[in-house]
Structure 1
Amino acid sequence: MKKTTVVQPYDLESINIKNWVTKSNILIESTYKLSLQEQRILLIMASKVQPNDETLKTYRFRAKDFIEIVGNKKGTGFYSYLKEIVNGLQTKILTIKEKGRQRNYNWVITSIYEENEGYITLQFHPSLKYLFLELKEKFTSYQLENVVRLNSVYSIRIYELLKQYERLRKRELTLEELRHFLAIEPTKYKQYGHFKSKVLAVAQKEINNKTDIHFEFVEIKTGRKVTSIEFIITSSSSPALNDASAIKEKKLELNQHSFELEGNSNSIQNDLVDLGVKPEKIEWLLSEFTKEHLERNIRYTQDRLITGDVTHPHSYVVKAIQKDYAKLSHESKLLQSKKTVKRELVPDFMVAAKEKQRTFNESTLKDKQELFFKEIGTQIEFEEKLLQFQELKRMLVLSSDEPNQEEVKKAQEAGLQEVIRNMEEDLKKRQELDLEPRLVKDFKNKELKKIYKEFLQSKILNKT
């Protein structure tokens, strides 16, 4: 008698909008075109992927659970509409460009709609594993609830692009890059005014009202034409945004930032904010002193802050700018140098030898620097790496559904230690290559700037 094999169905999965979605930044910056409902279904699938999964699993959901999250389409039977979406997902293509090569993937390999039972079974294509699993760096995480509430496909994509840079607080994209990421056809929203009203304004309203981040944007022009957008990103949960005076301060920052872009200035205002100078004082300093005057005295204050010579930087930097401490210090050093340096008569062959050795040393140092930056990356990439390691530690500790207070504390400490460890390795590598340490002012992220400053101070104290 022939035995009949019964295939057991997959376990039913619940949908929890508090679940975390974690994606490689390669996926976030890839090109794909999906409908709003298709986006939501794939995001729900992504929220089921766990950091410790070894493969991309197959998930089976109740159709009615999907309907509650994805939403109903007026005028049609939604079960039939959902079936069309599920079947259509297998034909949708994801395009990934890496190292000069373009690869096209299907999003899902398994797509089953059980009409009589009211179940949906889905599985990501196995080739996408490296975009969701075993992510050690360059990834972005957020809770599902932040995206399933958005009603525009462009809002979802812009949210991910900004969430990726949340810790750095800023992201600049050319209009061409933004249109590419959003998969907007060349013939659609050709006029910037249409693009701004239909894409940027809609995304800004939705993201600011419904997600955990808030953004403003500055239009960057080439001549009279807008060619790039700089997004200013803040966390919606930040206490600063709940305070009326802080909102006023933020607006002042945005207005001044726009002024800085027009004058091709550096982030002078941000440095003054970091030093604790009040907004009204910043406005006065910017109007009274030149860019070079401000920059040299801010650097002078920052350097003295590292060595521990300054205890009240907010007042010290204002006095330094008013009295030009940096210039006075420089002139004092020059005068001292003239008193101590003796001119000696040196044979021509010795001068030539010294010049040759100096050129060799400079060339060697340059080669070392190029090699270092090739291996380590730019300052922005270094900061991204620190923040991503910190996020990974936090995700691993908070992998349980309801972490307690002790686990949260452990997560924060683990993330901090990971950041410090990477700073330690970076400093050691620089010393081996005879390179100067990174400067505190080089850090754009305020949190990392504070950690690095304390890290350097601890090094100085240990030496003494």
Structure 2
Amino acid sequence: MQENYLVAQRNDLIEARHTNPLSVREQKIVLTMVSMIQPTDEDFKDYRISVKEFSEMLGLEGSAKYTELKEITKDLMSKSIEIPRADGGWLFANWISSAEYQKGEGIIDLSFSPKLKPYLLQLKNTFTTYRLSNILSLKSTYSIRLYELMKKWQHLGKWSCTIENFREKMGVESKKYPRYANLKARVLNPALEEVNEKTDLSISIKELKKGRSVVGIEFIIRHAPEKEIRLPSLENHSEPTKEFNELDELRVRLNELAEGYQFDSLFFSQLHQGASLIWHKDTEKELEMLIRYVNEEKTVKNPLGFIKSKITSAWEIYEAGGRITFADLQPAEARTTGRTEMLPEWFTTKDEPYESADASPELEELKAETLRQLAKKKEDFARKKNQKN
């Protein structure tokens, strides 16, 4: 294993229901296996972990005993997950389909259930990535689940859910900690404290109340790469580290343009994922225009959050059928009197977008209609501008 190995999962898997939750040891085994998958892999392989790595990763005392390893892998093979599907269906699947101990080599070979292929292989969109090192130091299963959920919503900066939804996603049994005060003391607060202390995230919460009762939680998520834990290298039985690729080269070029801030690889990969779906071959040009705008616009206090929020807004309008470009943007001091319309309405909100965890169909339709109207305003403005020219 290597510290910079990435864990990549489709968002459906992160949002799955953990009705038979993995223990913290089992989570670390599964996520270590996920980190061994390469982006180009078309099928699962046997994922090989040495007994030494196994022991260090799970915090086993002394030399791991054969019977102890056997019990851990046996329990892991019994664990299942429920993945809801967009059509209203669902999938129940075991995480692991086989485990084999190579006695003479001190190796354990593990295989994923074939049903998990769409959620772990050939990921093109709606997936989440993070460094394996961030979760290996966590000692609570709730901390790992919270970290994964927060990484999924990191690009928006906020996420809210009902108490019951939070309980379900954390894998807390329905009769366990029935009162919110107990759930907060035993699950939420310890997980927040550990994630904030040991990972690349900084999370705070706001309690959502109905009268005096807490009915939901809003999470405010910030990326704090300076806190990221780097682990010492262990024996390496995995694939080589992913090479510097075209996305890295693009990030380097755009970082050269950015003034006073930089894109790290994980943040940029998520940013680029959304931008490329909107602008395709023009992605680099659009990002360049947005970065140049941010460099000159003195009212922007949080460049990375601002860029993230505007691409999110652009994506929402793109989904509603609008055509978006940053070509018309001008910093405040460069705008002439009476030309404030140069900034489209969708762009002027400084707050990062907020997405409700339980949006109703009526609200979604209202949102879609609003976005269509905004897109039409922009197209009308562009047409009038062309007529003047």
Q: TM-score, normalised by structure 1?
A: 0.54
Work out whether 1:109 is the aligned partner of 2:1. no
Distance 1:144 1:238, change over 3 A: closer
Counterpart of 2:74 in structure 1: which amino acid? N
CA shift for structure 1 position 173: 0.9
Cross-structure match for 1:83: 70
Give 5+ residue unaligned stretches, structure 1. Answer: 1-14, 240-397, 432-436, 447-451
* Match runs of 1:422-441 below 5 Å: 423=314, 426=318, 429-430=321-322, 439-441=346-348
CA shift for structure 1 position 194: 1.3
| Secondary structure, counterpart of 2:155 in structure 1 | helix
Distance 1:112 1:213, change over 3 A: same
Work out whether 1:172 is the aligned partner of 2:79. no
CA shift for structure 1 position 186: 1.8
Cross-structure match for 2:173: 185
CA shift for structure 1 position 461: 12
Q: Distance in 1 between matches of 2:99 and 2:189?
A: 35
The 8 Å contact of residues 51 and 64 in structure 2, kept in 1 or not, is answered as no
CA shift for structure 1 position 201: 1.0
Identity of aligned residues (%): 33
| Secondary structure, counterpart of 1:110 in structure 2 | strand
Q: Distance in 2 between matches of 1:89 and 1:409?
A: 41
Partner of residue 243 from structure 2, selected from 377, 384, 400: 400
Per-residue deviation, residues 144-171 of structure 1 (Å, max 9, x unmatched):
0111111100010011111111121110
Partner of residue 182 from structure 2, selected from 188, 194, 216: 194
Counterpart of 1:93 in structure 2: which amino acid? S
The 8 Å contact of residues 55 and 61 in structure 2, kept in 1 or not, is answered as no
* Match runs of 1:291-370 below 5 Å: none
Per-residue deviation, residues 16-74 of structure 1 (Å, max 9, x unmatched):
13100010110001112011110000000000011111011112221111211221159
CA shift for structure 1 position 182: 1.4
CA shift for structure 1 position 87: 2.2
CA shift for structure 1 position 237: 2.8
Distance 1:93 1:407, change over 3 A: same
CA shift for structure 1 position 442: 6.0
Cross-structure match for 1:393: none
CA shift for structure 1 position 417: 5.8
Distance 1:459 1:97, change over 3 A: same
Counterpart of 1:409 in structure 2: which amino acid? V
> RMSD across aligned C-alpha pairs, in angstroms?
3.5
CA shift for structure 1 position 88: 2.2
| Secondary structure, counterpart of 1:164 in structure 2 | helix
Cross-structure match for 2:191: 203
Q: Distance in 2 between matches of 1:207 and 1:44?
A: 18
Work out whether 1:92 is the aligned partner of 2:79. yes
- Name the structure where helix makes up a greater proportion of residues: 1
Structure with the bigger RCO (C-alpha within 8 Å, sep 6+) is 2
Cross-structure match for 2:200: 212
Q: Distance in 2 between matches of 1:41 and 1:402?
A: 28
Q: Distance in 2 between matches of 1:402 and 1:430?
A: 31
Q: Distance in 1 between matches of 2:171 and 2:322?
A: 41
Q: Distance in 2 between matches of 1:77 and 1:138?
A: 38
Distance 1:73 1:202, change over 3 A: farther
* Match runs of 1:248-287 below 5 Å: none
Q: Distance in 2 between matches of 1:404 and 1:418?
A: 11
Give 5+ residue unaligned stretches, structure 2. Answer: 228-240, 254-264, 281-313, 324-343, 354-373
Distance 1:441 1:221, change over 3 A: same
| Secondary structure, counterpart of 1:430 in structure 2 | coil
Partner of residue 42 from structure 1, selected from 10, 16, 30: 30
The 8 Å contact of residues 96 and 103 in structure 1, kept in 2 or not, is answered as yes
Distance 1:429 1:187, change over 3 A: closer
Cross-structure match for 2:6: 20
